Amino acid sequence: MIRKKRNILVITPYIPRLNQSGGQRHSFFTLKYLSKTNNITLICYSRNDEGLSDLKQYCQKVILIKRGPTWSLKNILITGFSWYPFLLVNYINADLKSAIENEINTKKYDVIHCDCLYPILNIPEVKIPTILVDVTIEYAIYEHFVRSLSGWKKLVAPLLWIDVLKLKYWETRFWKQTHTVMMFSQEDREFVIKATGRKDIHVFEDGVDPEHFDLPQKTPRSSYPSILSGASNMKWMQNRESAEIILRDYWPKIKAKYPTAKFYIVGRNSADFFGHLNSKDIIVTEADSVGPHDLQYYYEHCWLLLAPMGSGGGTRNKFLEGMTFRIPVITNPEGGMGNIKITNYQDAIVCDKKEILKNVYKLFDDHKYRQQMGESARKLIKTDYSFETSVKKLNQIYETITKK
């Protein structure tokens, strides 16, 4: 018996794109494998239409709503005189809300899939089962940012704390109100269960496109010691903070010990934040969308991926993808491995910040160990972290909530 396909309305706060890392790449592969068993209508919110045509092979219908500037007097005033935090104000849009309402009113949908918290305020109250896929605990990220302020920046901390509290209120509210919530790590799942009292919180086990395992090697490892920070969107403060920690605490010592070493800060908007550091030793660039230097190139070119983090939570797409291409990963407990269940010091390294340099040196000095870790990492991801498998589990959740 051939099962009738569900109609799924997917809402994203960006255009899911194959040539980006993080959430956009995750959303792209989710759509790719969801489309095998579901009819998908996608509504996305973006300033441009780059990458839109790539989605039409997976979606029956794609609707783009153009987004305005983040910083505007209107957004600031709404934030200051309403219960909405600045983060969500940026995604409240009459056209976006109208497009969602129009789809709900003109077509029968089995599930609404909201990919990320940001656009959720535009979804009206409906009886259609709604899934919130919360990539990370948003308010915790901003809380960490406010706590880390120093010097004159502390003067604005009280205003920022108000915004954090508003964000906490809304995020917690939607954890409670949506039909179910999907987080990206067991740690985040347990946090949401404790905050809401709900037991039906799920983990979306992130993965890698299985087609990546058949890709031919693009480039050999560099002949010199090389560190990759990134394959990330540098507008995301966690990614910037990670690169800043490396530059401040580790890179000077690494460069002194290994004079030929190079540090690659690769990712979307990397030049906006780190372009002034670009040199023969610190390479700041975006991966090519079409060309020889794509994400695969940097994963294969560099000796290790170093990603100390200041706060935890969420998923780590760059770890999954890097490990697929045999690059050893070093992070700290705050960075964690998301939902990736590693054998420490075999598949990757999770250690205290004070132990990071020692492990960088060991991997630099021991070619065999570096190679073994890369092979072990690839085997783990290939065996347990396929996007195809992850989306099968997502379909099982659809099945459960549509029967209620």
With helix as H, strand as E and coil as C, how does 109-142 read? CCEEEEECCHHHHHCCCCCCCEEEECCCCHHHHH
Could you tell me if 168 and 244 lie in one domain? no
CB 14 within 8 A of CB 44: yes
Could you tell me if 41 and 139 lie in one domain? yes
Local confidence band at 20 (pLDDT 50, 70, 90 cut-offs): low
Position 315 pLDDT exceeds 60: no
Local confidence band at 1 (pLDDT 50, 70, 90 cut-offs): very low
What is the mean pLDDT of the segment spanning 274-299? 89
Position with higher pLDDT, 144 vs 373: 373
Could you tell me if 192 and 226 lie in one domain? no
CB 338 within 8 A of CB 344: no
Phi, psi of 64 (to 5 degrees): -105, 125
Q: Which of 74, 87, 240 is nearest to 162 (CA)?
A: 87
Could you tell me if 22 and 148 lie in one domain? yes
Q: pTM value?
A: 0.86
The CA-based angle 336-311-142, given to 5 degrees, is: 145
Could you tell me if 195 and 295 lie in one domain? no
Could you tell me if 250 and 363 lie in one domain? yes
Percent of the chain with pLDDT over 90: 67
Domain containing 332: what range? 211-384
Could you tell me if 198 and 249 lie in one domain? no
Could you tell me if 291 and 173 lie in one domain? no
Could you tell me if 367 and 392 lie in one domain? no
Q: Which of 375, 368, 367 is nearest to 348 (CA)?
A: 375
Instruction: For residue 219, tell me if it sits in a domain.
Output: yes
- CATH number for the domain that contains residue 308: 3.40.50.2000
Could you tell me if 226 and 325 lie in one domain? yes
Q: Count Cα atoms within 13 angstroms, Cβ side, for 12.
A: 26
Local confidence band at 118 (pLDDT 50, 70, 90 cut-offs): very high
Local confidence band at 308 (pLDDT 50, 70, 90 cut-offs): very high
